[in-house]
Amino acid sequence: MSGRRQSVEDIFFAAMEITPDNERSRFIAQACDGDVSLRKEVESLLKAQAQMDRQDFLEHSAELENSADRKAATQGGSGGEATIPPPLAEGRRSSRPSEEQLPRNFGDYELLEKIAQGGMGVVYKARQNSLNRIVAIKMILMGQTANEDDVRRFYNEAEAAAQLDHPGIVPVFDVGCCEGQHYFSMGFVEGESFAELLQRKPLPPRAAASYLAKIAESVQAAHDQGIIHRDLKPSNVLLDAEREPRVTDFGLAKRLESDSELTAAGTVIGTPGYMPPEQAGGNLDLIGVHSDVYSLGGVLYAALSGRAPFESDNQMDTLISVLQETPQSLRQQNKSIPVDLEIICLKCLEKEPSLRYASAQEMADDLHLFLSGEPILAKNDLYRRLRKWSIKEPTLVAHLAAITAMMSLVLFIYLLIRLGLPIGGSDAPFTYLWRNELILASWAVASLGLQKARNHFPSSASMLSLFWAMLDPAILTLLISVNDHPRELLYSLFLLLVVTTGFFRRVDLVAVTTVTSLFGYLLLQWSGDAAHVYEHRSHIAIFASAIIVTGLMQGFQVLRLKRISAKMNS
């Protein structure tokens, strides 16, 4: 876990316990110390947490596994334009047609059976009597009161889909209100959802690329009409009798040219595992076509791996992962996945929108190039790879960055000594240089080896982390021992090690680092001149106590965060 993520979590969990809101805001401002981006991340998570306690968020989340439209798909083409009635012209409460009453008449339709139910809607298989055709009818979930936003969002979904005329998008035939119940009818097919297909096993690479190319072209058709889906995921893609994919469920759709927004800024909407960072952070004004491109990458990732790019035990952890982490490498999970296809997928899943494909069609074009065996357009340059590496392995990157900085500092001091400047240090500057650089280089090699071992032996990752936590202060002790006095500034690195270890939220790591640092510091003192030790024993006791207190404080903070997290999950 990176220090940046830990800082966000620390401030977030601490702010959760503070009331009223004005005191919470004051605390966040002080804790972020002028870091605007850090403050925005914390405030976004707080807003997301608040939304989790509201029915609206829970209803959309429930649709992740129980999409109300997974059986609704076009039946041989698209339908005509639907007439949208005034959204709030009729009553908003109705009794749900019970399954025991089916089949039964519902206006021009005969409800035959319930085929799906989600958090907000229920879908029935029905026969439209006037045209003698089988359709799917979606209604606002009955037996509960729908507020104005629920009804407007329901009609927004119908209106958005009704404007789209594309064979890869589910058409809307009719919209209205019958018996006080808002509904709209769609095409129907006896097929399965893409999610149900992936539940059996991941797809072969070429099959996944072929499906996603078609899905991306359907999404591009929506974008061409100024409509962003905002909730693309496997359960919202249906497969008809010819196994052709059809995009459905425009319940969260947004018009590009529209200034009105049904959801307030700061609200988290959609499915956490597939939503882009700007959506996970509640920054609705930043959502655009690049947001759907991200979700398309998430669907491709699921098609190749069988799982969403980010999955955690609770939604809050998933949102944090979406904001700050990179998904696990596809080729680490399955070596048979071609490099080019992984590059296409990960380009879609970039945190920065400008680094993704500029459009869904560009993604589709690259997938077609891959399928035809031609070079893809997506670039996997050095900057992109370094950036992904820094997100994927923050511990190693932090070690190497710190070691590089220290090696540069040692070289700079050596050059100053060679120039004859009065810098405190060794009388043999070259000896001073090679000893320090050798130790630092060994530290870098050891860090690389431990990270590689953790990647290859995940079952032993916990023990390897403990060894790493012990190795760091041991090497630091060796480094300080080859340098002359004064060493006071170098001793402060022990405290820094203890503090940074707390970022990983493991009490055992904090304990091991604290004990090893304390032992290393005392060893350095007692291996020096005895008179010096006697003269400064009070200073030694103070600094040793500082190491112990720092370790205890970090351990207490880790335990506190774990208790808060457990309380939230329960």
Q: What mean pLDDT, rounded, does the chain reach?
A: 78
Asked whether 229 and 256 are in contact (CB, 8 A), the reply is no
The pLDDT of residue 262 is 46
Judged against a pLDDT cut of 80, whether residue 161 lies above it is answered with no
Q: Which of 58-67, 83-92, 412-421 has the highest mean pLDDT?
A: 412-421
The confidence score (pLDDT) of residue 375 equals 86
Residue 540 has pLDDT above 80, yes or no: yes
Using CA atoms, how far apart are residues 528 and 550, in angstroms rounded to an integer? 25
- Structure tokens given for 401: 């960055």
Nearest to 551 by CA among 482, 478, 485, 500: 500
386 token code pair: 């370094």
pLDDT of 6 > 70? The answer is: no
Cβ–Cβ under 8 Å, residues 556 and 5: no
pTM value? Answer: 0.57
Which residue type is seen at 460? S
Q: What is the pLDDT of residues 46-85, one digit of tens each?
A: 776 665 544 444 444 444 334 444 444 444 444 444 444 4
Q: Which amino acid is at 413?
A: I
Length of the chain: 570
Residue-wise pLDDT tens digits, 191-200: 788 999 999 8
- The whole-angstrom separation of Cα 515 and Cα 498 is 10
Q: In the chain, what is the straight-line distance between the N-terminal and C-terminal CA atoms, in Å? A: 23
Would you tell me how many other CB atoms lie within 10 Å of the CB of residue 185? 26
Distance CA 213, CA 363 (A): 7
| pLDDT, tens only, 362-397 | 999 999 999 998 888 887 666 666 766 776 787 888
